[in-house]
Structure 1
Amino acid sequence: MRFRATDFLCRKQGKDVVTIHTEMAQWLADITTVKQIDHYLALVWRGLAEGALSDQEAQELSEAACSRRSLLQGAREARLPPARTYFPQRPKSEQSRHQAASGSRCPVRWARKRRLGDMAALPPNVRDRFTEGERAVLYIVASDCRQHGSCGSSVKEIGDRAGVGVTTVRNALRRARRLGLLDITDRPQWRARHLPNLVKIQCRRWLAWLKKFRPNLGLNFCPTGFKKAASSGTFGNKQKGGQPSYSRADGPSGRFQRFARRKPPSG
């Protein structure tokens, strides 16, 4: 971000006059490096010397800049992104939340989310803390933890299995982690794409509840639409001699016979 001396002039936006104090306060929110803080402070004292800023306004901007510098330095030491992203803000949509959420949905994913969200994979004390889609996500996580000991699927895979989007998956994992239900371990790779996070259940009350009320969760799970193959009727429907009950009486027995053949038809 670059500052110019001509920016100290007041600008008019419609009927409102934007003062230099308000504009510089907005600039401070877009700063992402410590070097920009030094340049910003130089502009603040230059504005005070030229009379564009009063003593009180300059003092407020200076204190805010020092606070912003401490936040940036702390984020740099902790290897975290800045408090505010440096990417340009996305323009606000003209649609309301209801209009944006009432678009076309896949009926299969919608039915899967409704079904998994009502399967009671969470204990009653925390069930009301999550939405229906988030409960479906935690059902998938709980089933993987019961079957494999942990859940190593990606956010996209969990969302496809639960019938929700990636944002719902992230919200569910963050809230469960904040409530102490899950333990999420990052798996970074050197010079490679990071592996999916490893999710484990750390709440003993949840584990005890699953063991008592949902003992088969994740162990004998069959996907929707699974149809058991019909029996051919050859096993368990034989006579004592080994011959099927529906076969001809004059045929060979069910035992192995080397030169067995049917009798020629009479008449």
Structure 2
Amino acid sequence: MFVEECRRAVMAAPLTGLDALSKGVWQAYGAGVLDDEETGVLCELIAARRACSEQLARAPRRVGSRPRTSASLERRRSWTASGWLPPAIAARFTMGEAAALAVIIAEAAKAGRCGLPIGAIAGRAGVCATTVRNALREARRLGLVRVEERRLSYARSLPNLVTIAGRELALWVRTRARVARQEGGCKIVMATTNLHFHSAARPAPAAREKGIRGRESDGLGDARAGLA
């Protein structure tokens, strides 16, 4: 009965409480409550329990990908449908990878190259950092982009610089950037090249006043003639 209680206590005890249980087992053995076989079984159980707890404590904590929230999904879909990738090229990537590439290409079209960190690209596109790395790796393999690494030391580096390398993609991006500049909308006014247009079309103020007075006098004369 006492052995079963000790066994249950060992299985339920945390890692910090195993030392106290081991001390209690040896005290019970010294008092004659436990024999050699029972003491050996409990000591082996405590040792196995301690090894298992230490292994779980040393195991790295696995963190999943970015939570799939409605906001991240909206950003992902918005960038995928933004038109920065030709359909033939976008078909080679997943929706998340296409969204990440769209962020990179839009930044490169604006500044000539993209120097955003991986985390910033992932945040804008609504994806995880692994998806951004996979997209860059595949785009680099296909010859679509050129990645320049900027290492400061063995363990430190600045964000990579990504430039557009594919000819088809570069032509598409130039067209898309021109459309993006025109999306704001404006009214284009074409000025005339005739410098004398206004002066020829409209008479001088003195001539206009003289013409008005002449018409008024003619009308007054006609009215007087009608009365006569």
TM-score by length of 1: 0.42
TM-score by length of 2: 0.49
Task: Say which structure is richer in helix.
Answer: 2
